[in-house]
A and B are shown apart, each in its own frame.
Chain A
Amino acid sequence: MKTLLRLTRLFRPYWRWMALGTLLALVVVLANMALLGVAGWFIAAMAAAGAAGGTMNYFTPAAAIRAFAIARTGGRYLERLVTHEATLRFLAGLRVWFYEHVEPLAPAGLQHYRGGDLLSRIGADIDALDNLYLRTLVPMAVAAATGLLAFAFLSLYSVPMAGIDLIFLTLAGAAVPLLTNRLASRPGARLVETGSRLRTAVVDTVQGMAELVVFGAAEAQIRDADRLSLELIADQERMSRIAGLGSASLGLLTNLAVWLVVLLGIVLVRRDEVPAVDLPMFALVVLGSFEAVAALPQAYQYLGHTLAAARRIFAVVDAPAPTPGPTGPSPAPSDHGLRLRDVSFRYADDAPWVLRSVDLVIPEGHHLAVVGPSGSGKSSIVNLLMRFWDCDLGEICLGGHTLRDYHSEDLRRMFSVVPQRMHLFNTTVRENLLVANPQADEAQLQAAAAAAHIHDHIAGLPDGYDSYVGEAGLKLSGGQARRLAIARALLKDAPIMILDEPTEGLDAATERRVMDSLLSAATGRTLVLITHRLKGLEHMDEIAVMDEGQIVERGTHGTLMAASGRYRQMHEVLTAS
């Protein structure tokens, strides 16, 4: 309920559209009910007049019938336009709202959602919210209003008759859907589960076909998928029976309501409490009123899905900002040197420490390499420098001020980064590069790409820099994507460079050339190079060796090789065996 209220608060900017849409939907149902009712009364009255050999004023009812028919038709068209307009406006606002709420959280607050699946589920969740208004709230509001208006109208003639209609409408519109939903909740959950197991089995079969064949397990795997397919059908059959039961009882309840109203009507007619010619009208008005509850079973289903989706969305949005910004303006850094003082850090309170009392001084213009086995905490330093996370103990300073004093945008303006994982957007090569610097001109673009040794490849593509990359476009190899990321970082002219395994996935020859470009671009800038490869470190001003979150050794290539410590040991493992 709280979720629903919170969701409806998001509706506020669009409430006029939404109210208008609901009103039109109500008009459509009422017009039909009125059309049927008046038509029933009209023919009975005309027949009675004809039988009595008299005449009657047929202009008014005939005109009313036409008017209702037109109200129904036009109302339906307008209703659909207005409700869709409302939904689309709401969805557009919702996307921006969600994005704006999530943006400050990334990536620390989203670390649980890193898998593409979870994120795409969030995307789907947002799309799912369009059902809330269109398929849940409108039908429910219309059903409630119709029920009450039908009750009010019928009670002009007979309160018990009005009561019968209302009771059966409630049964059909609330009791039956709730009951079937309850019946379906467990098989429904199992259905989802079986479906995802089947999907897993199919993906396993496709991706693991070679191993399945070599190990003689293909037959068993296919059988397994077939078994799941059968299981899925069995689950669906259970659901289908429940759904069938629901729709059959909806029909039955409609008919029973008509039956009881006719029965009561006959009694009332015989007692002369109502005119006999009204009897067909009662039957048809009751019949018409059930149109309002027909969409409700579906509405409940959507409600369940939508609320679940909304809860997931709120859970994401409600996470506190991981790195709150300062209140005042950012200070002016005295230079672009970095200092880590006794920094300790872990990703969660119950997670192991990834950095333990790390001390580093990187004066402006210095080049520092951080080396160590994977998992030693190297990349966490990047996360802290970018203020994606804050350190738990100690302090990090840039230009004499703690990072916490900078607004994150001012801070990141000073860094040019090649992170370990760089996202390529589903757009053109050009757009992907321009992310780094929207003002860059063609020459700058090509220079950066050339320095990353990717220009020739891009130029060779059919659409050159306007070729689409990413999921929807061209598949780039891991190495090509990496080089595009490097080009992107080179395009951003910032005083501090951070390179996290920049040449991962590149072949040896390209690696060397790209590294040379990067180092020459870094001339005069502060550089932090993070790597587990020990090549080309001879020119670094300092090398810090990390292991298990601590700096175990530091010095230049020469002094470290001479010291015969961990660095030398690592060198030997990689070079000789």
Chain B
Amino acid sequence: MNANLWLKHARTSAARPLRAAVGLGTVGGVLLVVQAWLLARVVSAVVFDHQSLTSVMGLMWLLLGVFAARAAVAWLTEWVAFRAAASIKLQVRRQLMEHVRAMGPVRLIGEHSGELASTVTDGVEALEAYYARFLPQMSLAVLVPVAILAVVFPLDWISGLVLLVTAPVIPLMMTLIGKGAEALNQRQWRRLARLSAHFLDALQGLTTLKLFNASRREAAVIARLSDDYRRSTMAVLRVAFLSSLALEFLATVSIALVAVLIGFRLLWGELDFQSGFLILLLAPEFYQPLRNLGTHYHARMDAIGAAERMVELLDTPPPAAVGGGVPFPATRRVDIEVRDVRFAYQTEHLALDGVSFDLKHGERVALVGPSGAGKSTVINLLLGFIQPAAGSILVNGRVLHELSPEDWLRHVAWVPQRPRVFHGTVLDNIRLGRPDAPLEAVREAARLALADGFIEALPEGFDTLVGDGGQGLSGGQAQRLALARAFLKDAPLVLLDEPSANLDMESERLLNAAVERLATGRTTVSIAHRLNTVRRADRILVLDHGRLVETGTHRELLADPGLYDRLVHSYGEAG
């Protein structure tokens, strides 16, 4: 969908408050005319009818009342417009989050999480000014000037004509110059973003620059880039500001023209002073809504920019729902048969090309192979995140992708390579799968995962805030936290993706011991990066280019010269 269209479509959910905002704005416009009339009347009465203060005091009080009413209306307009934008923002954000969820774990891997997060947060915020200011102003920019013209024309058609002729020229000029300036502006923004990015890059790489004695050189580069930026920006601005020059010129000169014309008609007695003064008071107000529209114009550009990113996200179709509705009753025994499974993420390249194996209850299986061999795909299939394109996976004799995903996942615990530490307490993180788990159970899980030691050393133990903005955890600690999660879930099938980066020896020892414990009495599949793990496996599945090329125990596989043998030797040491 087109971003502009989408923005228009999204406003339907707040149609009423938006209409109310326009209505209130119009009331404000009418009050403005009344106020001008009262002021003109008072001044005219005093100056030309020589009235005393007491005789105009009634009008003066009325004027005061109008002031109060205008203030109240202005405040209310702001509030109503905010409500309108707020309900749209809330709804759009919900829609985006739902879409993120529907995309599912596998599809999300390729997304830039930072970019996505800023679309959902800042992107949605960028809609506010559009709905709360620009849209109501669009209507007001027509309604208020028309109301003023309706007052001015009967009083003095010449002034009315001046206003009428200049008014449409302003938005026209603005769009004409604005469009060109907008393109230039966008380019300028990109330049600024590049300049800022370069500066940030230099700061982040300062240590590296220093290592190579390049840091002083860089100061000259920054100076040159900043200066280039200034020159090019000013070249753009000289043109871009022409639009405001034109606007200012028309508005100001026509006020001046109206004033001079009124003056002469007054001198010739063709107009009464009250009408003349009223027109003079209304003339600047005639252009005000058009000017406001100009100042909110960038809100529209921002909103379109944000909407483009949203539409792009929403147009990414979520993968076809995986899993069926067949219930899978709770069990402690899980036997799995993988039968000639094929799978492709993109049509042209098979990630798995006919893989078959069995997993017996209580068995420990290690997956090894070079990167891209299909190890992660096997795990994703077992998790039910994706379903085989051909072949099938049977769990206790039932087809996995026909099972209810919730039922199935209750039987699976998973420890990824880099476990996510969610923002929240350590406690919340461990009981991710069982939010109501008693503290004792959580402590026990942490103890089994050998995580209790470091958790208790944290400033507030289990209540320490971790994750983004909280206490940082090392890779090894995050792993053990994830293991504690798995212990607490106590699922019969455990899927593990070992950390490939080197942990220090102590972390490695603790991790191995905890994994050992978790594997006991459970069916375990691990993507192995360490010799340690493969040695303990009951069976090793060696994958290469989506095929299962070897299987057996460590000893059996070493006896045959093959991929495994080569892999083990490139680990550096053989047993």
Give the bracket for the number of chain A residues in contact with chain B: 35 or more
User: In the complex the two chains form, is B269's CB within 8 Å of A51's CB?
Assistant: yes
A575 part of interface (Cβ distance < 8 Å): yes
User: In the complex the two chains form, is B94's CB within 8 Å of A244's CB?
Assistant: no
Query: Across the interface, which residues of A come within 8 angstroms of B128, CB to CB?
Result: 236
Closest A residue to B230 by beta carbon equals: A88
User: In the complex the two chains form, is B97's CB within 8 Å of A283's CB?
Assistant: no
A392 part of interface (Cβ distance < 8 Å): no
Bound: A236/B89 CA distance, A: 12
Query: Across the interface, which residues of A come within 8 angstroms of B535, CB to CB?
Result: 577
A492 part of interface (Cβ distance < 8 Å): yes
B356 part of interface (Cβ distance < 8 Å): no
Query: Across the interface, which residues of A come within 8 angstroms of B196, CB to CB?
Result: 123-124, 127
Q: Mark A196-222, 1 if CB is under 8 A from B, else 0.
A: 111111111111111111111110111
User: In the complex the two chains form, is B504's CB within 8 Å of A206's CB?
Assistant: no
Q: Which residues of A167-206 have CB atoms within 8 Å of chain B's CB atoms?
A: 195-206
User: In the complex the two chains form, is A200's CB within 8 Å of B423's CB?
Assistant: yes
Closest B residue to A44 by beta carbon equals: B47
A158 part of interface (Cβ distance < 8 Å): no
Q: A44-B273, A233-B86, A577-B535 are in contact. Are A213 and B113 (CB under 8 A)?
A: no
> For B83, B223, B420, which residue has the most chain A Cβ atoms within 10 angstroms?
B420
Q: A100-B219, A413-B213, A426-B197 are in contact. Are A213 and B571 (CB under 8 A)?
A: no
User: In the complex the two chains form, is A99's CB within 8 Å of B93's CB?
Assistant: no
Q: Which residues of B344-403 have CB atoms within 8 Å of chain A's CB atoms?
A: 370-371, 383, 385
Select which of B97, B114, B198 is within 8 A of A226 by beta carbon.
B97
Q: A92-B226, A202-B120, A237-B86 are in contact. Are A210 and B383 (CB under 8 A)?
A: yes
User: In the complex the two chains form, is A573's CB within 8 Å of B505's CB?
Assistant: yes
> For B101, B209, B264, B482, which residue has the most chain A Cβ atoms within 10 angstroms?
B101
Q: Mark A393-425, 1 if CB is under 8 A from B, else 0.
A: 000000000000000110011010101011111
Select which of A62, A122, A217, A437 is within 8 A of B433 by beta carbon.
A217
A4 part of interface (Cβ distance < 8 Å): no
Q: Mark B452-483, 1 if CB is under 8 A from A, else 0.
A: 00000000000000011100000000000010
Min CB distance A39 to B, Å, is 4
Query: Across the interface, which residues of A come within 8 angstroms of B412, CB to CB?
Result: 214
* Among B179-187, B231-239, B439-447, the stretch in contact with A: B231-239
A15 part of interface (Cβ distance < 8 Å): no
User: In the complex the two chains form, is B71's CB within 8 Å of A42's CB?
Assistant: no
Min CB distance A362 to B, Å, is 19
Q: A205-B100, A532-B502 are in contact. Are A217 and B273 (CB under 8 A)?
A: no
Query: Across the interface, which residues of A come within 8 angstroms of B229, CB to CB?
Result: 88, 92
Query: Across the interface, which residues of B come within 8 angstroms of A436, CB to CB?
Result: 212, 214
User: In the complex the two chains form, is A220's CB within 8 Å of B203's CB?
Assistant: no
User: In the complex the two chains form, is B93's CB within 8 Å of A229's CB?
Assistant: yes
Q: Which residues of B51-82 have CB atoms within 8 Å of chain A's CB atoms?
A: 52-53, 56, 60, 63-64, 67-68, 70-72, 74-75, 78-79, 82
User: In the complex the two chains form, is B468's CB within 8 Å of A204's CB?
Assistant: yes
Closest B residue to A409 by beta carbon equals: B213
B558 part of interface (Cβ distance < 8 Å): no
Number of interface residues of B (CB under 8 A): 146
Closest B residue to A31 by beta carbon equals: B252
* Among B104-112, B303-311, B331-339, B537-545, the stretch in contact with A: B104-112
Query: Across the interface, which residues of A come within 8 angstroms of B468, CB to CB?
Result: 200, 203-204
Q: Mark A235-255, 1 if CB is under 8 A from B, else 0.
A: 011001101110111011001
B175 part of interface (Cβ distance < 8 Å): no
User: In the complex the two chains form, is B201's CB within 8 Å of A425's CB?
Assistant: yes
User: In the complex the two chains form, is A72's CB within 8 Å of B248's CB?
Assistant: yes
Select which of A47, A216, A470 is within 8 A of B266 by beta carbon.
A47
B205 part of interface (Cβ distance < 8 Å): yes
Closest A residue to B63 by beta carbon equals: A259
Closest A residue to B64 by beta carbon equals: A259
* Among A19-27, A265-273, A451-459, the stretch in contact with B: A265-273
Q: A92-B230, A267-B53 are in contact. Are A417 and B505 (CB under 8 A)?
A: no
Select which of B42, B93, B268, B422 is within 8 A of A262 by beta carbon.
B42
Query: Across the interface, which residues of A come within 8 angstroms of B370, CB to CB?
Result: 507
User: In the complex the two chains form, is A263's CB within 8 Å of B60's CB?
Assistant: yes
Query: Across the interface, which residues of B come within 8 angstroms of A218, CB to CB?
Result: 101
User: In the complex the two chains form, is B47's CB within 8 Å of A252's CB?
Assistant: no
User: In the complex the two chains form, is B78's CB within 8 Å of A255's CB?
Assistant: no
* Among B8-16, B141-149, B253-261, the stretch in contact with A: B253-261
Query: Across the interface, which residues of B come within 8 angstroms of A197, CB to CB?
Result: 423
User: In the complex the two chains form, is B505's CB within 8 Å of A270's CB?
Assistant: no
User: In the complex the two chains form, is A412's CB within 8 Å of B213's CB?
Assistant: yes
B560 part of interface (Cβ distance < 8 Å): no
Min CB distance B345 to A, Å, is 15
Q: Which residues of A245-299 have CB atoms within 8 Å of chain B's CB atoms?
A: 245, 247-249, 251-252, 255-256, 258-259, 262-263, 266-267, 269-270, 276-277, 279-280, 283-284
B35 part of interface (Cβ distance < 8 Å): yes
B90 part of interface (Cβ distance < 8 Å): yes
Q: Which residues of B415-443 have CB atoms within 8 Å of chain A's CB atoms?
A: 416, 419-420, 422-423, 432-433, 435
Query: Across the interface, which residues of B come within 8 angstroms of A535, CB to CB?
Result: 572
Query: Across the interface, which residues of A come within 8 angstroms of B575, CB to CB?
Result: 575-576
Select which of B39, B101, B216 is within 8 A of A258 by beta carbon.
B39
Select which of B104, B108, B207, B214 is within 8 A of A106 by beta carbon.
B207
User: In the complex the two chains form, is A81's CB within 8 Å of B269's CB?
Assistant: no
Select which of B48, B111, B200, B255 is within 8 A of A51 by beta carbon.
B48
Query: Across the interface, which residues of A come within 8 angstroms of B406, CB to CB?
Result: 216
Q: Which residues of A34-56 have CB atoms within 8 Å of chain B's CB atoms?
A: 35-36, 39-40, 42-44, 46-51, 55-56
Q: Mark A117-135, 1 if CB is under 8 A from B, else 0.
A: 0011011101100000000
B2 part of interface (Cβ distance < 8 Å): no
B556 part of interface (Cβ distance < 8 Å): no
Query: Across the interface, which residues of A come within 8 angstroms of B209, CB to CB?
Result: 435
Query: Across the interface, which residues of A come within 8 angstroms of B165, CB to CB?
Result: none
Bound: A230/B223 CA distance, A: 45
Q: Mark A85-97, 1 if CB is under 8 A from B, else 0.
A: 1001101110110
* Among A63-71, A325-333, A520-528, the stretch in contact with B: A63-71
Bound: A244/B73 CA distance, A: 10
Bound: A248/B56 CA distance, A: 26
User: In the complex the two chains form, is B108's CB within 8 Å of A206's CB?
Assistant: yes
Query: Across the interface, which residues of A come within 8 angstroms of B203, CB to CB?
Result: 99, 102, 119, 122-123
Query: Across the interface, which residues of B come within 8 angstroms of A519, CB to CB?
Result: none
If A103-B219, A504-B501, A504-B502 are given as contacts, then 11 extra A-B residue pairs at C-beta distance below 8 Å, sorted by A number, are A84-B237, A103-B218, A123-B196, A207-B420, A210-B385, A222-B97, A252-B67, A258-B39, A280-B280, A388-B207, A426-B198
In the A-B complex, list the 5 residue pairs whose CB atoms are closest, starting with the nearest.
Answer: A92-B226, A208-B420, A508-B570, A423-B205, A215-B433
What are 13 A-B contacts defined by CB distance under 8 Å?
Answer: A44-B47, A70-B253, A80-B237, A99-B199, A124-B196, A214-B383, A218-B101, A270-B52, A373-B506, A415-B211, A435-B214, A470-B201, A512-B570
